Amino acid sequence: MIKKLIQKVFGGAKSRSGAARSVKVGAQSHELRIYRQAEHGIDRRDISEAALRICEGLQQAGYEAFVVGGAVRDLLLGRHPKDFDIATSATPEQVRQIFRRSRIIGRRFRIVHVMFGPETIEVTTFRGAGDASGALASEAADTEPETNTSAQTNELAPDDIESEQRSRRRPRDGRRNLPLGPVSQADEHGRLLRDNVFGSQEEDAIRRDFTMNALFYDPSRQEIWDYVSGVPDIQKKRVVMIGDPIERYREDPVRMLRAARLAGKLGFAIDAATMKPIAELSPLLENVPSARLFDEMLKLLLSGHSLLCIEKLHALGLHQQLLPVIDSLLNNEESRPFVTLALQRTDQRIADDKGVSPAFLFAALFWFPMQKRQQALEAGSMRTLQAMHEAMDDALEMQRKTLAIPRRFDVMIKELWLAQPRFLQRSQAKAHRTLSHPRFRACYDFFELRAAAGDASTEVAEWWEKFQFADEDVRETMLLPDDDPKKKRRRKRKKTGDGPDTIKQQDDIELPSLPTETA
């Protein structure tokens, strides 16, 4: 069905004549291909109203503005984008002057968040190459200042005139007056540490990661501008790196993870040249800040296709730098059904537009490693509860050596794990105590997930499903007798000022029952 949709959308693209022109960026030449609405099939009504208004506002002010990146890719594939990003020739300060409800953020590269009601649109100035002199020099040659910078500067040409033959005046552009200075800096591995330079639209397209993410959509003319053959690559369902893959991976090793995520999420194949260096360069991920790795891993797990993405990550060998436990989880007959079901249910919740808790997902991924550690500690004569607490800490700390999961997730992860043995206790006091847990529903969902995967009793899971929704009378009939031995009360000596010690019973202090020693 997707193949027919793509053929319908792009069927006439090859037959168009005069829609391409050569563009030179630095020492490289690229061909710009412009697709009209009849060729690409994108409907303006599928684009966020906020994104349309921001593009119109920037264009009316005399700047170029396009919807870019993954939103254009998803629209071409018939998907509904979760967000819309905009690229423009205006600087962040100029964008800020046009939209009062906006703020400039970022250190490495400044961007603008423009707020329209509950929606926030990210607006980015066209970015150039890392070399300041080359980027801004080529830009200055292409962008001559206009004396008339009114909103009429971007007046649309008639539809019967070819795009590349339109005599449009260049919009005004404040980027050419920026100071040069050092704007690019890389570490010893080639990873860019600082890349803060504005550029032209052509340069912005070339510096993006994959061809499918380097498409520009102009809502006013309803055109797609393609400098890097991104449309044909989408049509062929392949992930293709822009430029030399080795150099681009060294600039930003996270691009290897993005390749795996895009391939898994979209069902695309990774181009041979794009995939070849990954095995050799995967250790470069160790030099990436942990916060960026975690953010990218979260995108992968919450992509709506987490199982396929995890499998692609495993196939490329990238899991060793992020989730080494994937090997044992996917290759073990006991843990694989549980992990697979957890990922599938996460994907289904995202498809149903329901909330997803990253802590719940991480608790599922590390449940079996934690249990294995607990069993090892118990085999060393450690008590069950103490062994479980130490195993939880060990499992999370072990994972942080590769993927630094924020400690704010620890509380919920541990609560989910600690609650699991409680579901086996269905006597009156303990059942009601479990039911009153602040995160009972999440804890029960975790137990029910285990039961569905064969790791817990389905009979117990069904009992709790009925018990939590039953009225008080029905609950009383469902409760099991309390078989635990009664707790012993402590007696405490209390000293008085005028007599011998007396013994007073402390009803509010109880000790847990101790096991009976046998000879």
Tens digits of per-residue pLDDT, 235-271?
A: 999 999 999 999 999 999 999 999 999 999 999 999 9
Q: Which of 189-193, 408-412, 460-464 has the lowest mean pLDDT?
A: 189-193
Beta bridge partners of 53: none
Catalytic residue check, 209: yes
Q: Give the pLDDT confidence score for residue 363 in this predicted structure.
A: 96
Residues ≥6 apart with Cβ < 8 Å to 79: none
Neighbours of 315 (CB within 10 A): 14
Q: Is the pLDDT of residue 172 over 80?
A: no
Candidates 469, 430, 464; CA nearest to 448 is 464
Q: What phi, psi does 25 have (nearest 5°)? A: -120, 110
Residue 482: active-site member: no
Q: Which of 209, 233, 252, 271 is catalytic?
A: 209
Query: Is residue 187 flagged as an active site residue?
Result: no
Q: How confident is the model at residue 519 (pLDDT cuts 50, 70, 90)?
A: very low
Nearest CA among 49, 46, 116, 128 for reference residue 87: 128
Q: Is the pLDDT of residue 226 over 50?
A: yes
Inter-residue contact 254 to 261 (CB < 8 Å): no
Q: What is the DSSP letter of 157?
A: P
pTM of the shown model? 0.74
Q: What does the angle CA 266 – CA 271 – CA 274 come to, to the nearest 5 degrees?
A: 110
CB atoms within 10 A of CB 313: 24
Q: For residue 465, is pLDDT > 80?
A: yes
Q: How many CA atoms lie within 13 A of 80 on its CB side?
A: 6
Mean pLDDT of 17-38: 68
Say yes or no to pLDDT of 511 above 90. no
Other CB atoms within a 10 A radius of the CB of residue 249 amount to 25
Give the pLDDT mean for 113-136. Answer: 76
- pLDDT at residue 83 greater than cutoff 70: yes
Distance CA 156, CA 447 (A): 60
Mean per-residue pLDDT over the chain, rounded: 81
Alpha helices in 267-357 (DSSP H): 272-275, 278-281, 290-301, 306-315, 326-331, 336-351
Rounded Cα gap, residues 313 and 309, in angstroms: 6
Q: What is the pLDDT of residue 492?
A: 65
Percent of the chain, pLDDT > 90? 63
**pLDDT surpasses 80 at 316:** yes
**Nearest to residue 256, comparing CAs of 282, 234, 238?**
282
pLDDT-above-70 percentage for the chain:
74
Q: Which of these, 296, 454, 301, lies nearest to 365 by C-alpha position?
A: 301
What per-residue confidence (pLDDT) applies to 165?
34
pLDDT at 156 over 70: no
**CA-to-CA distance for 409 and 418, rounded, in angstroms?**
14
Region 395-421 average pLDDT: 92
465 φ, ψ (degrees, to nearest 5): -65, -40
**CB environment 405-441: b (16+ within 10 A), e (fewer):** beeebeebbbbbbebbebbeebeeebbeebeeeebee
Tokens of 12: 């006439």
Categorize the per-residue pLDDT at 352 as very low, low, confident or very high, splitting at 50, 70 and 90.
Answer: very high
- Give the pLDDT confidence of 361-388 residue by residue, as tens digits: 999 999 999 999 999 999 999 999 999 9
Tokens describing residue 151: 């909103």
Per-residue confidence (pLDDT) for residue 143, from 0 to 100:
31
Specify the pLDDT at position 170: 41
Residue 253 to residue 67: CA distance in whole angstroms: 26
Of 85, 226, 271, 347, catalytic: 85
Residues 203-230 have a mean pLDDT of 96
